[in-house]
Structure 1
């Protein structure tokens, strides 16, 4: 939020889970453990897929991409929370906050698109097994992931740029910078932002759920029809 919005402060305050100093070490340990387990688990999946030639298939390529996305989602939010707990500070700059908003949106959208792509991969593998290698060629797999990332980035940037135009009177955000929480702080009209969010959720949700439902509508009868 820029100076033209008549905002006199240049940072947000992340309130965190509690102000009790005795609980801070416990919270830090819990979130650090969760973060390390998430990173280690997903890195092991990616390493196994990349090193084992038997796993160089579309299914494991998408699984590896999903693991990378999961790492990115965790890295976008948890490290800043851990730093704030350790240094006993709550501030996050406007630039860092809106960067966090953008990346959270990008990777959340991307994760959901990848789930839809994986459902399509299962549909082809089960319903068209003889044509699977012909349909799911490597360049198509890469293209599907790239398109998912492109759409996710475009959608996230639109929301972030719209939020940047809002003026703000409050600095306090509960845990981490999220689009809905930032919009709640605005004192200007947020009607267009809310409409844009709802329309985006409906369109993206319809595409993702529609793809997954379509896949399983065909997968279930194929499985039941197997001798």
Structure 2
């Protein structure tokens, strides 16, 4: 049985749109009828929403990315990276994400027809600004624009960067945030791919060992001062 649950909590206090805001995060399946908050309900209840919970995003012509659209969820596993070009941690994450994407692409491919799709999603800036940022930071996979924040609201994402591994039903199989090491990204996406391949009904991939968790929490604490 697929797990449909909402995990919500205060993630951080940051500056969004020039004003102070408490950032709440929650994750759910797009086919889950549960609420991610009044704003999320208002956004995802629009007539544009597909009947099956699929959200279509505009894709931007940039290195590794073609102009067009992409549907989330995909037919396989999708690693979705929510970012903002003005986010310090997003810039710090990119070198590790570039390496992780290259390793995963070599092992699994990363197009919609493959087992894994990697897509970075932004909701701010112009297409030209996003393309310039993408080139500057060596992005080389699908770059998508979520201008109305339908996808971000669907998963309760309000901080950056946030990484979600979704199966083909849109269920979150792994989620994390901040400046993650290459090895951690690759390891957890591999676990999701293996779990989905063995049994699509498996629950969300479990956590790390205690030693790994302590190391990762220490690294995260060193970057706590960075906000969007």
User: Which protein has the bigger helix share?
Assistant: 1
User: Which protein has the bigger strand share?
Assistant: 2
Q: TM-score, normalised by structure 1?
A: 0.27
